[in-house]
Amino acid sequence: MMRQVRRGATPPGPGPSAPPYGAGVPQQPSYTDGQGHGGDGYDSGYNTGQVYGGSGGGQGPGRQAQGRPAPNWRRRIKWTAITVVTVLVVTTVGTYFWADSKLNREVDLSKVIERPEAGEGTNYLIVGSDSREGMTDEQKKDLHTGSAEGKRTDSMMILHTGDNGSTLISLPRDSDVEIPSFVGSESGKKYPGTGRHTKLNAAYAEDGPELLVRTIEHNTGLRLDHYVEIGFAGFANIVDAVGGVEMDIPQDIKDKKSGADFKKGKQTLNGEEALAFVRTRYALAGSDLDRTKNQQKFLSALAGQVATPSTVLNPFKLYPTMGAGLDSLIVDKDMGLFDLASMFWAMKSVSGGEGTSMNMPISGSVGGNLKWDDAKVKKLVEELKNDEKVTVSGN
């Protein structure tokens, strides 16, 4: 039998023998040497802090672990910035194509004949129609629109934008105008002018947007660059999408036909209330002329609300607003998103006092229709064509 050699106390039972110390591996101190660990041979797992293969000494505070490089913060910031920019670009491009695809480009201004020469700046014809297309019976009742078939123009405005500020001009729907020769938008047939005079909104009812543009250009001599139209339901939806529009109503208004019932003072109008406000005329002393002034004030306020950072920078408000607006707008075939944005910014400038708002100058009435002041209209059109500061006043 071989003699067994014991190194201090040995725990009972068999156990694996410790491997021999290799090169570069220092011998660990015994825990039975009286340094506080007793003599039962139990290894607590702690050592003196010496690292195998190291130069001795533990890892001190603030020292980076060996083999682990310090973070490259410059590289991390660079790639974070690239990622953010990429996401923004992709989102912006995607939003642009989404919005562009929703524009209803239905009006073909190339069908308009004998057009005036283009002047300086840009002229938009903005039309509010009484179209009830797509509305349920309940919506017609809530919005007090009635159930008339077809559609007519409920409001018409010319917005001029240029280097000398923006000018918003309302064209009363009862304006006396001459219906000129025109080409039918559907038939393609040319109808000669007969000198017939009628109300301006009759041109739209007779052959739609193209004849309306032709009639306005013929009676003013001003070329219209773009056409924008919105119906009853679309108007109300946009107002609701932005969370309502604040208006300072100058007087108490109650009109059963439009559904308007307002007290004087500042208040936020929802879609239903806004539509009633812009349609009211029977409760106003100036009837249609006062109504057009209210329409200008409201549309300018609406544009200002849409163009605020709280709407533009909030995707939960921006996308519903854009969706409601783009779905309900009818524009000409050459209208782009940048043209539409320019129009809204110009209307916002009018509400901010940086532009001019007015009615078409009126000199009286003929056959129950409002007759334009020819001299003032001529001067106004000349200033708009030359993109000069408007000096003409309207009613």
298 phi and psi angles, rounded to 5 deg: -70, -45
Rounded to an integer, what distance in angstroms lies between the CA atom of residue 91 and that of residue 85?
Answer: 10
pLDDT higher than threshold 80 for residue 100: no
Q: What is the mean pLDDT of residues 123-141?
A: 70
Residue recorded with tokens 């090169």: 23
Q: How far apart are CA 64 and CA 149, in angstroms?
A: 80
Q: Is residue 52 predicted with pLDDT exceeding 50?
A: no
Cβ–Cβ under 8 Å, residues 280 and 293: no
pLDDT at residue 138, as a whole number = 64
CB 395 within 8 A of CB 384: no
Q: What is the pLDDT of residues 140-187, one digit of tens each?
A: 555 555 545 556 677 899 999 999 889 999 999 899 999 999 999 889
Reported as a single tens digit per residue, the pLDDT across 272-286 is 999 889 888 888 878
- The Cα–Cα gap between 344 and 299 comes to 9
Domain boundaries 105-386, corresponding CATH code:
3.40.630.190
Q: Is the pLDDT of residue 29 over 60?
A: no
The encoded tokens of residue 132 equal 């009830």
pTM of this prediction exceeds 0.85: no
Q: CA-CA distance, 231 to 328, in Å (whole number)?
A: 7
What are the pLDDT digits (tens) for 53-83?
A: 444 444 545 455 566 777 788 888 888 888 8
